[in-house]
Amino acid sequence: MKNKSIGAELKKLRKTLGLTQEEMTLDGKIISVGQYSKVENGIHEIGVDTLLELLTIHDGINVKDFFLNLEEDYSKTMKKGNKDYSPERLSEKLVFAFYRNDLSEAKKLKKKIDRFKENNELKLRATITVAILSGTILDLDEKTKEDISKNMFINDNWTRERDSLRLFSNSMIIIDRNILPTLMKSVLRAYTAEEHLSVKIQERISSICINYLYVCFKKHILTNVEEAITFLKRLSESPSLMFNKILGYYFECLFNGNDRDAAMIRDILAKSECKNFLNKLAS
């Protein structure tokens, strides 16, 4: 993303929080201070994942409001009557719609994206986005499922992009069973080797592990199951991660045939009135 509106919005937000550029970037741990300064001035691009990390690492930031304000800025800068968007612009808008769970906007963007003769990856991304937001991903035709399995996650950096990881997590139920383990291995390789992952990153990857274990149990896939469970076991003891650690043990029980402990965990969930989650877990 390279746009003066993004930089201006970040600068306004940073000043509202009373932060220096060093504090905003955690002394350059998220993005170097020099690069961040260029982002604020609209002369350097920033990746979606880096942007979201900046927004979620500090207290007092409403991420949805940030994207809403940014979308309004885009609208104000558009020339009247100009409805021809570039693929890059549409891709950015699609991310915003996905993050805001805005199905109506996603459908409108998909119609525009489908008009392109090329850019198959963007078309697939739009298809997945609409399918996820509308709850119809299982209804996609076999040709589309095959295209998603083979072509959706081929970018070398997709495991580092938050929106790509979220798409992967939500679409793995339809990804070819022979391809899914390879993609999951890429995710695990990218994060298990790192030490001191932030709680936010642990939450993100552990959720992917849980979805993966769920799909694997349903489809009788064993590849990378042990590795995913190990990742969940090694989560830090942050309160926000405890539930995912418990689910890691739950799936370990399922795969090892420990029905007694698995039933005990389901019983606890039922007594805790987690009915919707329990129904999905047991479906």
Report how far residue 206's alpha carbon sits from residue 198's, in angstroms, rounded to the nearest whole number. 12
State which of 168, 191, 213 marks the end of a domain.
168
Based on the fold, state whether residues 201 and 277 are members of the same structural domain. Answer: yes
State which of 26, 61, 78 marks the end of a domain.
78
Query: What residue type is 280 in one-letter code?
Result: K
pLDDT of residue 134: 93
Percent helix, strand and coil across the chain, each rounded to 5?
Answer: 70, 0, 30
- How sure is the predictor about 252, in pLDDT bands with cuts at 50, 70 and 90? very high
Based on the fold, state whether residues 277 and 216 are members of the same structural domain. Answer: yes
For residue range 14-24, list pLDDT tens digits in order: 998 899 999 99
Buried/exposed 42-56: b ≥16 CB within 10 Å, e otherwise: eebebebbbbbbbbe
**230 by DSSP, 3-state: which?**
helix
Based on the fold, state whether residues 196 and 154 are members of the same structural domain. Answer: no
- Higher per-residue pLDDT: 75 or 267: 267
Q: Which residues span the domain enclosing 54?
A: 1-78
pLDDT of residue 81: 41
Report how far residue 42's alpha carbon sits from residue 8's, in angstroms, rounded to the nearest whole number. 8
State which of 36, 53, 78 marks the end of a domain.
78
Based on the fold, state whether residues 103 and 55 are members of the same structural domain. Answer: no
Based on the fold, state whether residues 160 and 184 are members of the same structural domain. Answer: no
Q: Which distant-in-sequence residues (6+ apart) come within 8 Å of 56 by Cβ?
A: 63, 200
